[in-house]
A = this chain, B = another copy of it.
C-alpha cells in the first residue's frame, strides 16, 4: 500500500483499550489517526501518548468531529454506547466504511455468550444506519493487550464480516497493514460468530490463565497474502 493510499482513520472510543491498540498499530504503519472521545482531556491524553509511542500522526477530537474528518471510521465503544453513538455521528458516516469492533457483552457475565435477540449486534447497527454506510465487523477477537504490546507480533487472525465485498476487502487490507492475517468471513449476520467468540475467549482466558489473551487462527485454507 503506498503512502498516498493511507486514509485517515477515526477511532471513536479510541481512548479505550481496544481502540488504543488498533490506533497504535495503524499509526505506526503510517495511517493518520484521530482519536474520538466524549472526554477531551482523555482523548488528548491518549493521542499524545500514542503519538509519542508510535512517532505517528495521532490527534484527538470529539466523536462527531473525528467521524467527519475520518475517511474510515472505527467504533470501539462499549456495547451499551454503540447504537447511540453511531446514530449521533450518522450524518458523517455517509458513503464511508465503518468498522464496528463492539461486542454485545452483558456485564457482569461477560464470559457467557448472550447475543441479542435477532442475532448479531452489528447487523442491527447496519440496519439502523442504512445502506449508504458500509458497516464491516472485524477485530472483535483481537486481544487489546496484544495490540498494545507493539514489539509483539499479534498471534491471531482476523475475521471480516460485511454485506459489501469491497468494504470487507478494504478492512482486510487494513488488518494486513498491521501484520494480521485477515479473511472475508461472510455477511454481517455472520458476525454473530465473532461476537459470541469474544465471550468464549474471555472464559478461556480465565480458565487457562492466559497472560496475553487467547485468540483464533483459521486452519485449512490456502495462505492469504499479506
A contact set with B: CB distance below 8 Å: 111-115, 117, 119-120, 143, 146, 155-156, 159, 183-187, 189-193, 196-197, 199-200, 203-204, 207-210, 212-222
Contacts and interface: CB of A to CB of B under 8 A. Distances in A.
A210 B221 contact: yes
Contact of A186 (B156, B184, B192, B204): B204
B189 A207 contact: no
Question: Copies of this chain, how many?
Answer: 2
A117 B115 contact: no
11 contacts: A113-B119, A113-B189, A113-B192, A115-B119, A185-B203, A186-B204, A190-B199, A190-B203, A193-B193, A204-B218, A208-B221
Between A146, A191, A193, the greatest number of chain B beta carbons within 10 A of the residue's beta carbon is seen for A193
A20 to B, nearest CB: 19
A187 B210 CA distance: 19
A197 B218 CA distance: 11
A15 B209 CA distance: 40
Contacts of A115: 115, 119, 192
A189 B114 CA distance: 8
A82 B211 CA distance: 39
A146 B221 CA distance: 13
Nearest to A199: B190
